[in-house]
Structure 1
Amino acid sequence: MSEFKKILVPVDFSDNSRKILSSAADLAQVFGAELSVVFVVQSFDDYSGFFVPHVPIAQFEEEMVRSAEDKMSSFIKESLPADTAVQTRVLAGDVAETIVEHAARTGIDLIVMGTHGYKGLERVLFGSVAEKVIKTARCPVLSINPYR
């Protein structure tokens, strides 16, 4: 079995990601690994040709990042015991690509993430972040179904 010294957990601040984070924290404790939690603000660069927002896109993304940083702080406090060592980051970009790039750049050994279980039209419209990460990550990815 590989040694996992750095575990990355992408979250979306949902109750399901709280469950995934708890499982990842347990794994980190078992392996004596560092726990890193990220939230990715979806970049709107790809959509800028479809609509003209009232606020410049860059300014809107900056506000989203600031808001997510505040949310990350409260999410971690509510989700993990106070003595849990954890690093947090809020990033912006394509969600799956940004997770994979961040993992490679920071030497992550394992990504632990949930599945949302989209089916049918939802899956066509939204795709699967977990599936894209599993297919493109350079490290192992543990995918957990939070509904079970």
Structure 2
Amino acid sequence: MYQKILVPLDGSLRAEAILPHVESLARRLGSSVILLYVDETSDLMLGRDEVVDVNKYLEKRRKRIKTTQAYLQAIVDKWRSIDIAAQIRIGRGAVVACIVDTAKQESADLVAMTSHGQGGVERAFYGSVAVGVLNRIDRPLLLIRSRFEK
């Protein structure tokens, strides 16, 4: 049970609040872990009079992905040092769809993530990735409410 755990991260302390729980589960169950970062930056969408330097845009994206890979690799290295098998996936597109699709593609037995605990107007305006995943996922979801500030 729970041989492969998918953990979506966005680089925030809020999202990282799930990591101690996943580490504990993985150690006890011998699970492998997939750390997922979704690059939700949309493709170039320009207004009528806008001009963008495509090379600068692509360079900025390359730097962001490189920084993200280093961030995730540090977690993977730590876990491998305590015999937890872990790997990295970088997705692109709509966050909820990417999480759900990656869970299916990787045959994850469990998706583990945090809820940012947004309520009221903030949730209505920004939406909730956790709620979106909960509504679309076809496998167990471990959801921890994060108490970290923005």
- Say yes or no: TM over 0.5: yes
Go from structure 1 to structure 2 and tell me whether the alpha carbon gap of 1:32 and 1:20 turns closer, same or farther (over 3 Å shift): same
| SS state at 1:147 partner | coil
Deviations 1:32-84 (A, max 9, x none): 21111111111314x82558463439725444323321222235457x57323
Distance 2:66 2:51 in 1: 19
Query: What amino acid does structure 2 have at the position aligned with 1:48?
Result: M
CA radius of gyration, larger in? 2
Highest RCO, 1 vs 2 (Cα 8 Å, sep ≥ 6): 2
In the alignment, which residue of structure 2 is the partner of 1:13?
11
Equivalent position of 2:91 in the other structure = 91
When the two chains are superposed, the root-mean-square deviation of aligned CA atoms in Å is 2.6
Contact 1:65–1:92 (Cα < 8 Å) also in 2: no
Instruction: Give the TM-score normalised by the residue count of structure 2.
Output: 0.81
2:81 is matched with which residue?
Answer: 82
Are residues 1:24 and 2:17 paired?
Answer: no
Identity, in percent, stands at 26
Match of 1:100 in 2: 100
Q: Which residue of 1 aligns with 2:65?
A: 65
Task: Identify if the C-alpha distance between structure 1 residues 103 and 50 changes in structure 2 by more than 3 Å, giving closer, same or farther.
Answer: farther
How is 1:127-146 mapped onto 2 (pairs within 5 angstroms)?
Answer: 127-146=127-146
Runs ≥4 residues deviating over 6 A: none
Q: Which residue of 2 aligns with 1:48?
A: 45
TM-score, structure 1 normalization = 0.82
Contact 1:16-1:146 at 8 Å conserved across structures: yes
Size of the aligned set, in residue pairs, is 144
For residue 44 of structure 1, give the secondary structure of its aligned residue in structure 2: coil
User: Any stretches of 5+ residues in structure 2 without a counterpart?
Assistant: none
The separation in 1 between residues aligned to 2:95 and 2:53, in whole angstroms, is: 22
127-136 or 66-75, larger mean C-alpha shift? 66-75
Change (3 A) 1:132 1:50: farther
